[in-house]
């Protein structure tokens, strides 16, 4: 399967994880809200990057994890941790960012347009 298709599958599965439970400031949390590794069996809520890491780990695929993260970061012109922790304010916005990453991979487009004075236009 081509690299793009695998990265898209990872993002689609990661969206499902985020929809079931999203978090900020850490990669993952357990049922009680305690920070845990996204690879921990107790993890129930994930940040965008944590969800991607968990899905890629379950698939035994670290290479396409990087492709998926890079697609989001290049499309949003921002580190994924900054997006998740500072710019995204809801699970719906997190999913929107991830879906834009999928669209970016599908189209081969790397960066979104910028607004006045070089600042990124953000519309979630």
- Span 92-101, average pLDDT: 96
Evaluated on CA atoms 22, 26, 32, 36, the torsion sign reads: positive
Q: List the chain domain ranges.
A: 3-108
Contact 71, 37 (CB under 8 A): no
pTM, rounded to two decimals: 0.85
Helix crossing, 62-76 with 91-107: angle to 10°? Answer: 100
CA distance 116 to 104: 22
pLDDT 10s digits, 23-48: 999 999 999 999 999 999 999 999 99
pLDDT 10s digits, 50-90: 999 999 999 988 778 888 999 999 999 999 999 999 999 99
CA distance 92 to 65: 22
Give me 77's structure tokens: 């012109």
Residue 49's pLDDT is 96
């Amino acid at each position: 399967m081509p690299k793009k298709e695998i990265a898209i599958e990872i993002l689609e599965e990661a969206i499902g994880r985020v929809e079931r439970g999203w978090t900020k400031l850490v990669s993952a949390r357990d049922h009680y809200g305690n920070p845990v590794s996204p690879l921990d069996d107790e993890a129930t809520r994930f940040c965008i990057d944590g969800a991607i890491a968990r899905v890629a780990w379950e698939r035994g695929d670290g290479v396409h994890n990087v492709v998926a993260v890079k697609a989001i970061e290049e499309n949003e012109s921002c580190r994924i941790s900054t997006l998740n922790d500072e710019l995204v304010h809801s699970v719906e916005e997190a999913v929107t960012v991830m879906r834009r990453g999928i669209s970016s991979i599908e189209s081969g487009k790397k960066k979104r347009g910028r607004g006045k004075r070089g600042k990124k236009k953000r519309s979630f």
